[in-house]
A and B are shown apart, each in its own frame.
Chain A
Amino acid sequence: MAETTETTTSETQSPVLSEFQERFPEAVGADEREGYEGIVVAGDHLLEVARAIRDDLGYDLLSDLSYVDYLDDGFFEVVYHAYNTHTGGPALTFKARTAREEAVLPSLTSVWPGVDFQEREAWDLMGIRFAGHPNLKRILTWDGFAGHPLRKDWQEPFYEQDEKPFKSRWPEGHVRRAEMDVPYGMNVQYPEGFTLDGFVPEGDTALYAGLGTPQTSSGVGVHQIRTDQLVVNMGPQHPSTHGVFRMAVTIDGETVTKLEPIMGYLHRNHEQIGERNTWLMNMPYTDRLDYICSMSNNLAYAITVEKMMGQEVPERAELIRILMAELTRIVNHIWYFGFFLNDLGAFLTPAVYAITERDLVLDLFEATSGSRMMCNYMRFGGVAYDLPPYVGGPAVKEGDRARHLDTMEFLKELIYERLPRVTQEFDDYLSNNEILLSRCRGVGVLPPDVAVAYSITGPVLRASGVPYDLRRADPYSLYDEFDFDVAVRYNGDLYDRFMIRLDEIWQSLRILEQVYPRLKATMGQEFWAGKRAYNVRVPAGEHYGHAENPKGELGFYCVSTGAANPYRYHIRAPSFINLTALEQMSLGLKVADVIAVLGSIDIVLGEVDR
């Protein structure tokens, strides 16, 4: 048996490995590659080993399924990360391999139903079949898509080069508009000979065929009158769906009997772009995942790569990071109040109140990082700039109005006065509102065991009575130095999912009240360790880094070969995986409540579709 590295993960795993090697002598081995960790399981024993991991070791939440194409070695590797929600601690990593030519692995949907969408994604983007998956079809790209884009031998149309920077930019400088590469030229006409008559989208036909078969109620109570089942498309453009998202629902009267989320309208193959990019170039791209929470996305990516590099971060940088991450959490949750109420039909008054508060926090983000939403603020080893001396700028343009607000005073006012006041106001305004109560209490219930089985993370999981928060379960940055509670509610309905966000804001404010004096004390200290270099080198190896984002666990699984670009850059997107349980929560509800259930998960399509 080989000890790989000295990280805490391998220490906790070695007893697991020896025990498993005794139980499954043929099937289990250590990953002995330099910089890798975890156990390698033979594909044909994967199901029983997975069951043992869940039942005997207590790793009940399968957080992430990543997949890597090792082109030179001729195999795909699927990497699973599982958590124990009772004890916390780092993830248990186990892997399975399959030959590239005939890529098949057993589906784990029977062990952890939460891998459903993730296995579909792996099939879609990498072309790995999962035997036994109930609904294995493309999820992010469309049916007519040629090939599997994350394979290393797949090339996009107008492929230029494997890795950025492209040679054509410098020193040659052949400028050309990217739009000219589109086959339709100016993109306003159809190709020659194309006609819309007789064009049949095959995927939709199959989808409706699947939905149309009337399901006699299994757990869904439909009145005993003869009714026709009807398939209705909600989306892709319904204003309350938070973006271009579609739900195909079968309804009986107004009761939902079947639901299938359809996504990918905003798919841009983020991960493949990330593998063309250098390590540093990916930072601004992470802003575009969950575009409400770009600061938290930056943090999750930065800690992942820093761990791989072995990069230390100075104290002030950590404090600024936590300040930004917690402010982002508050912004996200306040924004959620506004738009959840919009989903419930309260229209825009709560949303406008929410946006007012959000704009003040964004003023700080803008003064600090240069941008309100696409912050691109964190770097490997710190943050890009220190906090600015003042919030506001000089009047330059005609009509410009200048502000000159001292940053620390601005922060003090925000943390100690304004944000507690508005949080209390949202509480007064909404929490006891009878309409809200009758719409939310007991609706869309997600029991704790189901939530864990479906890999739900973040506030949705905690609202179901599972006190699992990565800031406590597997602390990163300086979170273990701060005093705060993991907010938890026990009913798992819409109302608890609303209230849990309120609780989390209070906890975030508690953290911020501890951060503020330390920020004052560390004024003027360094905020970036190491050299400000554009060509970051990351030693060969793999790492799965994660952070507790406002919407759930945001994870980055990166593989480096020591080159300037990541070999693999996989994202565990909380919005995407939390949608797996959407059908579970919606069955038997009325159509209007399904909108509210979707709102309560709090998704952002930039992250769902990637």
Chain B
Amino acid sequence: MYGLGILKGLGVTIRHFVDTYVDDIKWGIKRYTTDEGFEARQSPNTTGLVTIQYPEEKMAVPERFRFVPFLVVNDDDHPDAPGHDWCTSCGICAKVCPPQCIWIVRGSDPETGRPVPEPVDFYIDIDICMNCGYCAEYCPFDAIKMDHDYELASYDRTSEHIHNKARLSKPLSYWQTIAPTRAEEERLAREAKETAKALKKGRR
């Protein structure tokens, strides 16, 4: 019969329409106010509408999420060196960066003239950054990490899109908040490395 295919197709559309309300009735207001409701809405077995009411509600990004990088510094309550840069200005991030958006100004000791393992300044042009995550992946000191703050719109691109060291630096506790599992894994790896180093030294 002519038109059967269209009717069958319309049936699919109607099912989608009905599903949305069935799910709404089943969950009630909880579908939009609780985390469980959100999880159910955003999982593979959901059937209803999947819209997220941005910006009132936002989908929490996964730990590996990559956005414009930031520099890890010690927390303010660090016993020895509060706010100390983890970056040693070794330049691996600048060398591995595909679009070459990282500029590092190395510092030197005013007396000896030797380079000091801390950058004088550190720039990232976020207009060029392609969020590939290589800098964080290849940094041997866990000193540069990909941020989760994706709301970077600004009124003036000419003056605000090159982030300097002050803008880029964020305390370790921030990294532990946005990526708890990874921060813990990295801490364990660093400790294992330290122990191995100490053992090697002790043996000598």
B138 & A534 in contact (Cβ 8 Å cutoff): yes
- Give the chain A neighbours of B188 by CB distance below 8 A: none
Q: Convert B27-57 into 0s and 1s, putting 1 for each residue whose CB lies closer than 8 angstroms to a CB of A.
A: 0000000010011001111000010100111
CA A285 – CA B130 in complex, angstroms? 9
Contact B64 A175 (CB under 8 A): no
Is B60 in contact with A396, judged by CB distance below 8 angstroms? yes
Contact between chains at A388 and B60 (CB < 8 Å): no
Chain A residues 386 to 411 lying within 8 A of chain B, measured CB to CB, are 388-389, 391-397, 399-405, 410
Cβ contact of B39, chosen from A396, A404, A418, A435, cutoff 8 A: A404
Q: Contact between A399 and B55 (Cβ–Cβ < 8 Å)?
A: yes
Minimal Cβ-Cβ distance residue in A for B122: A173
Contact status B35-A401, CB under 8 Å: yes
Query: Which A-chain residue is minimally distant from B148 (CB atoms)?
Result: A396
- Contact call A414/B44, Cβ cutoff below 8 A: yes
User: What are 5 A-B contacts defined by CB distance under 8 Å?
Assistant: A165-B94, A170-B95, A171-B106, A281-B96, A405-B43
Specify which of A170, A284, A388, A436 is in contact with B94 (CB 8 Å cutoff): A170
B159 CB, nearest partner CB in chain A, Å: 10
Contact A435 B44 (CB under 8 A): no
List residues 53-68 of chain A with CB under 8 A from any CB of chain B: none
Verify if A42 is at the interface (C-beta below 8 Å from B).
no
- For window 312-371 of A, CB contacts with B under 8 Å fall at 349, 353, 356, 359-360, 363, 366-371
- Are the CB atoms of A366 and B9 closer together than 8 Å? no
Tell whether, in the assembled complex, residue B42 and residue A396 are in contact, meaning their CB atoms are under 8 Å apart.
no
Residues of B within 8 A of A429 (CB): 8-9, 12-13
Residues of A within 8 A of B154 (CB): none
Of residues 524 to 549 in A, which have CB atoms within 8 Å of B's CB atoms?
532, 534
Contact between B44 and A165 (Cβ–Cβ < 8 Å)?
no
Q: Which of A278, A359, A388 contacts B50 (CB 8 A)?
A: A359
Structural contact, B5 and A434, CB atoms closer than 8 A: yes
**Which positions in B face A, CB cutoff 8 Å?**
2-6, 8-9, 11-13, 16, 35, 38-39, 42-45, 50, 52, 55-66, 89, 91-92, 94-98, 100, 102-106, 115, 121, 123, 125, 127-128, 130-134, 137-138, 146, 148-149, 158, 161-162, 177-178, 180-181
On chain A, the residues within 8 Å of B52 by CB distance are: 401
Q: Are A384 and B137 in contact (CB under 8 A)?
A: yes
**A284 pairs with B58, CB closer than 8 A:** no
Pair B100/A169 contact, Cβ less than 8 Å = yes
- Assess the A374–B103 pair: CB atoms within 8 A: no
Residue of B nearest to A368 (CB): B64
Residues of A within 8 A of B161 (CB): 177
- CA A395 – CA B9 in complex, angstroms? 39
* A482 at interface by CB-CB < 8 Å: no
Cα distance, A504 to B123, chains bound together (Å): 47
Q: Is A413 engaged at the interface, CB distance under 8 Å to the other chain?
A: yes
